[in-house]
């Protein structure tokens, strides 16, 4: 752990804005920059390098550390942030199994957590946690909607054994059953697994109309390729954790025709002109791809962009009540997020309230199809 923090500290220093050593607002960021979920965390870190030096007229200090896709590491970093760095906000993690235990640290210390994953928490346990990732329920709504149009009646489920996979299984099952769609086979695998042959054989034998794969980043390609290699001819769906070009880069021709649910930022230019997120999503894409190259946009860079947007709106409200670095400011920031109202971001429209720290509506999800190695809106 000590070695990990020392290495990550170099990355943190590189992300500090000019003059941030005297920053008034300290933000601790926990991301999987290494490990199985690094394909999700690195784009967020890249986006945060583009953040401004100030928000609400106050200097910003970003401390970005690597959780290595490990819940224990993520929790230790979160505790360091609240005890040693005295952060005003915690952002992360983008890996659901890491983000969940961090919520307990945020709640105990009275520090806002902007979660970058669709983390489910027991009722009342998210008083200090706000999600910037769309919930699995919201995205299941979009997935099931397209399945209904395609006449799909049965689905095979292949997902992670962790909280992300189990969360999707729960929410997708509920939405599917309401719409007359049945899960006829369920198989799981670990993020670190290099093969899912046994699971795929069972799923293909069940002969469902469609498969739902619940995995993330480049790791979503392996199970998809395995399903195709075993001769499955039905439709294959992927979740919003797979809304990155790593899926196509690794999967190649095997993922052609895949259906992937995503937030609107990934296909900004294809949004209708009356879509509220279109101008903001295009701004994200243009700024991100100017630095990191054409086609580098993804769901997770969008979350990093949106974190800045909500803080740009909430911090000035909180500053009217208290000064950064105090419990009063942290409480004021939480109140501001709950009361600032409708907020358009690159991934949709947020409207957090005291009773709803998810924010996105069921209409947020966009269904994409992989066509000739690129995204096409369905």
Give the Cα separation of 267 and 148 in Å (integer).
23
The matching CATH number, chosen from 3.40.50.2300, 1.20.1260.10, 1.10.3720.10, 3.30.830.10, for 136-262 is 3.40.50.2300
> Which sign does the torsion angle of CA 278, 283, 289, 290 carry?
positive
CA distance 97 to 72: 10
Q: How far is residue 98's CA from residue 77's CA, in Å, rounded to a whole number? A: 11
| Residue 15: predicted pLDDT | 46
Q: Environment class of residue 181 by beta-carbon count within 10 Å: exposed (0-12), middle (13-18) or buried (19+)?
A: buried
Q: Which helix (H) or strand (E) holds 177?
A: helix 163-178
The CATH number of domain 2-134+285-350, selected from 2.60.40.650, 3.40.50.2300, 3.40.50.970, 3.90.1150.10: 3.40.50.2300
**Would you call 262 helix, strand, or coil by DSSP?**
strand
| Distance in angstroms (rounded) separating the CA atoms of residues 113 and 110 | 9
Q: Contact 151/186 with Cβ under 8 angstroms?
A: no
- What's the pLDDT at 4? 43
* DSSP secondary structure of 75-103: HHHHHHIIIII--SEEEE-SSHHHHHHHH
Q: Write out the chain's pLDDT in tens, 378 residues.
A: 433 443 344 444 444 433 333 448 999 999 999 999 999 999 999 999 999 999 999 999 999 999 999 999 999 999 999 999 999 999 999 999 999 999 999 999 999 999 999 999 998 899 999 999 999 999 999 999 999 999 999 999 999 999 999 999 999 999 999 999 999 999 999 999 999 999 999 999 999 999 999 999 889 999 999 999 999 999 999 999 999 999 999 999 999 999 999 999 999 999 999 999 999 999 999 999 999 999 999 999 999 999 999 999 999 999 999 999 999 999 999 999 999 999 999 999 999 999 999 999 888 899 999 999 999 998
Q: For residue 61, what are its two tokens?
A: 């200090």
pLDDT of residue 362: 85
- The helix/strand/coil state of 323 is coil
| Residue that has been written with the tokens 């086979």 in this structure | 185
Predicted pLDDT of residue 354 = 95
**E strand or H helix at 34:** none
Distance of CA 202 to the CA centre of its chain: 30
Neighbours of 266 (CB within 10 A): 25
Is it true that 2-134+285-350 and 136-262 share their CATH fold?
A: yes
Given this model, what pLDDT does residue 195 score? 96
**CA–CA distance, 139 with 153 (Å, rounded to integer):** 18
Name the residue among 366, 307, 342, 360 with its Cα closest to residue 112.
307
Q: Answer whether 0.75 is exceeded by the pTM.
A: yes
Q: By C-alpha distance, which of 297, 298, 281 is closest to 241?
A: 298
What is the domain partition of the chain in residue ranges? Answer: 2-134+285-350, 136-262
Cis peptide before 93 (omega within 30 of 0): yes
Look at residue 13 in the predicted model and tell me its pLDDT: 40
Contact between residue 269 and residue 283 where contact means Cβ atoms under 8 Å apart: no
Q: Using alpha carbons only, what angle is made at residue 158 by residues 218 and 245, rounded to the nearest 5 degrees?
A: 20
- Residue 65 β-bridge partners: 30
**Strand, coil or helix: 220:** helix
Q: Position of tokens 């690094």?
A: 38
267 secondary structure, DSSP code: G
Q: Cβ distance 120 to 163 under 8 Å?
A: yes
**Residue 367: its pLDDT value, please?**
96
């Amino acid at each position: 752990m000590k070695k990990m923090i020392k290495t990550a500290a170099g990355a943190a220093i590189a992300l500090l804005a000019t003059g941030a050593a005297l920053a008034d607002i300290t933000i601790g960021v926990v991301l999987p920059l290494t490990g199985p979920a690094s394909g999700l965390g690195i784009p967020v870190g890249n986006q945060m390098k583009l953040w401004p030096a100030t928000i609400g007229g106050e200097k910003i200090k970003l401390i970005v550390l690597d959780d290595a896709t490990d819940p224990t590491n993520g929790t230790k970093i979160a505790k360091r942030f609240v005890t040693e760095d005295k952060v005003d906000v915690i952002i992360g993690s983008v890996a659901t199994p890491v983000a969940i235990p961090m919520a307990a640290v945020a709640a105990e210390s009275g520090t806002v957590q902007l979660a970058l994953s669709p983390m489910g928490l027991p009722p009342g346990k998210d008083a200090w946690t706000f999600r910037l990732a769309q919930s699995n329920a919201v995205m299941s709504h979009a997935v099931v909607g397209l399945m209904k149009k395609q006449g799909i009646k049965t689905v095979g489920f292949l997902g992670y054994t962790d909280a992300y996979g189990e969360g999707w299984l729960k929410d997708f099952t509920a939405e599917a059953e309401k719409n007359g769609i049945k899960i006829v086979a369920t198989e799981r695998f670990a993020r670190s697994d290099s093969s899912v042959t046994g699971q795929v054989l069972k799923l293909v034998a069940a002969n469902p109309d469609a498969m739902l794969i619940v995995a993330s980043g480049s790791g979503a390609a392996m199970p998809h390729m395995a399903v195709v290699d075993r001769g499955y001819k039905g439709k294959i769906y992927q979740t919003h954790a797979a809304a990155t070009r790593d899926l196509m880069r690794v999967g190649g021709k095997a993922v052609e025709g895949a259906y992937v649910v995503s937030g609107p930022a990934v296909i900004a230019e294809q949004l209708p002109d009356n879509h509220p997120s279109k101008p903001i999503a295009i701004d994200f894409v243009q700024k991100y791809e100017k630095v990191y190259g054409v086609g580098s946009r993804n769901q997770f860079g969008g979350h990093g962009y949106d974190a800045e947007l909500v803080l740009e709106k909430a911090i000035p409200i909180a500053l009217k009540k208290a000064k950064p670095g105090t419990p009063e400011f942290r409480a004021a920031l939480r109140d501001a997020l709950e009361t600032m109202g409708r907020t358009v971001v690159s991934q949709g429209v947020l409207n957090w309230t005291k009773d709803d720290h998810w924010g996105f509506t069921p209409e947020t999800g966009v269904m994409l199809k992989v066509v000739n190695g690129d995204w096409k809106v369905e």
